[in-house]
Amino acid sequence: MLPSRLRLESDKHLGRSVVLFFFKQKTAYEIHHGVAARTLDGVDAEPFLDGWQCGSVWGTTWHGALENDGFRQVFLTEVASQAGVRWRADPNSEGFATRRESMLDRLADAIEHHLDTPALVALVGIDL
């Protein structure tokens, strides 16, 4: 779907990246063994976060891109616009970090309420 070819390498690539995209600063990280390279197959594609955007398909090797609230809102607004949808982010919605923390708290509460954690610890053989 994208004009690229993946070559696997033995060394793992680790990195942190910061760029401006639609005037929003974005941070992300890379962790992969593959290296993507642009192919010359005649398909028009634009660079996108160390990857490519070709029509409605966007690809990147960067993880965590959508965890940046401002970036995510601008990016999804652009994607909606390309799809002909009049969508705008709710400026009052909670951010990614707050939402993730809330979800983890609910998961911890469910585990505490519904699981016999001492029995699981004994079964696994962990010494607390």
> Is residue 80 domain-resident?
no
Q: Which two tokens stand for residue 92?
A: 């009052």
What's the pLDDT score for residue 17? Answer: 82
Task: State how many domains the chain has.
Answer: 2
Burial letters 96-106, b for 16+ CB under 10 A, else e: eeeeeeeeeee
- Whether residues 8 and 60 share a domain: the answer is yes
> Is residue 116 domain-resident?
yes
> Is residue 71 domain-resident?
no
Q: Supply the pTM of this predicted model.
A: 0.68
What's the pLDDT score for residue 103? Answer: 97
Range of the domain at 21: 4-65
Per-residue pLDDT of the chain (128 residues; tens, 9 = 90+): 888 888 898 999 888 888 776 666 778 888 888 888 888 776 788 888 878 888 888 888 888 888 888 888 888 888 899 889 988 889 889 999 999 999 999 999 999 999 998 899 999 988 77
